[in-house]
Amino acid sequence: MMGGENSMKNENGFGGILVIAEQCGGEIHRVSYELLNKASGLKRRPDTALDCLLLGPAGLAAQELNFRGADTVYYIQGEEFEQQEELFYKENIVDFIREKKPETVLMGATAFGRSLAPRVAAALGTGLTADCTDLQLDEDGRLIQIRPAFSDNIFAHIRTAADPQMATVRYKEFREAKRDEKLPVKIEVRRPCRSADVLSQVVENIPLGDLDISEAEVIVAAGRGVRRKEDLEMLSELAQALGGQLGVSRALVDAGMAPSARQVGYSGNRVKPKVYIACGISGAPQHLAGMKESDMIVAVNTDPSAPIFRLADYGFVGDLYEIVPQMIAAWGKGGRQADRSGRPADDEGTADGERPVESAEGGLEQ
């Protein structure tokens, strides 16, 4: 049973919420804390159990999940989990869910979560809604899973008839649960199960490197204004000059100019960098939703009425092929260096709260 003996169960004998925490390299992925925050608002009653399942080697800071709101942390501990091998993880997760029968199971829509969750759902014979952007409860207390559909033009509201209800949630969609060391620590350590049916083996981990833009502090993003795939090198040079990474809009991914791992927006990554420089991006709602919480937004576009300018802190109206080389010259090696906030070190004369726009001819227009 999930949680304590008083935890409420439905007519099928399922009850409580289970967050499957992800870990890699000895660190708990921060999406786990975001899931705990959202899950706390999905409790049907105050005594609804909110538990975590953590699979990993010894030495993980499992108590952090308690400090973020988990009632009980079930820690399946084994060195086998150092490698993110989906089949072995699946065997252990499925066995645990069959034993504890949680009504709702949440996982992060990370690269590993997107690969693992369908395997778990298929083994359990239940449904799965992937890449959710919101979760709600209906009048019957059942989970409503919300995600973009039809090329991000609508939001589908999905209800799973079977138990458990499973969903993966996009990273950085919600705030992390607040940390409180006064919360009780309850950790149950278990041993992993082994299965002869597991036929795969991880032989090498190839890091994503700069393809993982989710944690980048500076992102230079390219949109339809980029004419050729080769021209992305210019934007990559600007990103490198600022110690950042290259991102793209969906249009460039659809055109085969960039991998989907670099995509920003509803159907890509949700990012919150300190500085986001949008080059040739008009500002479709689907893209803005993936980057609107950036600390500072700089827009470069030939159309002064482009929606991106309504969100931007700084705007340059002009051709990115003229403006980006000037940025590289100013902020690259030998030029002005950006300070820790992303502003050029000698950027002066702009009052707080004002949003200057640079015209194609140059000069700041307040």
What CATH number is given for 209-365 in this structure? 3.40.50.1220
Burial category of 132 from C-beta neighbours within 10 Å (exposed 0-12, middle 13-18, buried 19 and up): buried
- pLDDT: is 225 or 150 the higher one? 225
Rounded mean pLDDT, 337-363: 44
pLDDT digits (tens, 9 = 90+) for 70-108: 999 999 999 989 888 899 999 999 999 999 999 999 999
Categorize the per-residue pLDDT at 354 as very low, low, confident or very high, splitting at 50, 70 and 90: very low
Categorize the per-residue pLDDT at 332 as very low, low, confident or very high, splitting at 50, 70 and 90: confident
d(CA 119, CA 16): 22
| pLDDT at residue 331 greater than cutoff 60 | yes
pLDDT digits (tens, 9 = 90+) for 195-221: 645 566 777 776 666 668 988 999 999
pLDDT digits (tens, 9 = 90+) for 155-187: 999 999 999 999 999 998 899 999 999 999 999
- pLDDT: is 271 or 364 the higher one? 271
Q: What is the DSSP string of 289-350?
A: HHHTT-SEEEEEES-TT-THHHH-SEEEES-HHHHHHHHHHHHSTTSPPB-TTSSBTT--S-
> Maximum distance among all alpha carbons in the chain?
71
Categorize the per-residue pLDDT at 351 as very low, low, confident or very high, splitting at 50, 70 and 90: very low
pLDDT digits (tens, 9 = 90+) for 100-125: 999 999 999 998 999 999 999 999 99
Q: Are 284 and 302 in contact (CB under 8 A)?
A: no
Rounded mean pLDDT, 233-251: 96
pLDDT digits (tens, 9 = 90+) for 49-69: 999 999 999 999 999 999 999
Q: What is the CB-side half-sphere exposure of residue 26 using CA atoms within 13 A?
A: 2
The 3-state DSSP composition of the chain as helix, strand, coil percent (nearest 5) reads: 25, 25, 50
Note the pLDDT of residue 148: 83
pLDDT digits (tens, 9 = 90+) for 251-272: 999 999 999 989 999 878 889 9
Phi and psi at residue 265, to the nearest 5°:
140, -175
Q: What is the DSSP string of 80-102?
A: GGGS--HHHHHHHHHHHHHHH--
What are the structural domain ranges in the chain? 17-190, 209-365
Nearest one of 233, 231, 246, 241 to 328, comparing CA atoms: 241
Nearest one of 45, 50, 49 to 33, comparing CA atoms: 50
Categorize the per-residue pLDDT at 364 as very low, low, confident or very high, splitting at 50, 70 and 90: very low
Note the pLDDT of residue 3: 61
| pLDDT at residue 362 greater than cutoff 60 | no
What's 185's DSSP letter?
A: P
pTM of the model: 0.76
CATH topology of domain 17-190: Rossmann fold (3.40.50)
Rounded mean pLDDT, 128-154: 90
Note the pLDDT of residue 352: 41
Categorize the per-residue pLDDT at 350 as very low, low, confident or very high, splitting at 50, 70 and 90: very low
How far is residue 21 from each of residues 65, 79, 99, 146, measured CA to CA in Å? 8, 16, 18, 21
| pLDDT at residue 23 greater than cutoff 90 | yes
Nearest one of 248, 257, 249 to 227, comparing CA atoms: 257
Query: Do the domains at 17-190 and 209-365 have one common CATH topology?
Result: yes
Q: Which two tokens stand for residue 172?
A: 């950085």
Note the pLDDT of residue 7: 58
Parallel, antiparallel, or unpaired: how do β-strands 154-159 and 143-149 relate? antiparallel
Note the pLDDT of residue 202: 72
SS3 for 154?
strand
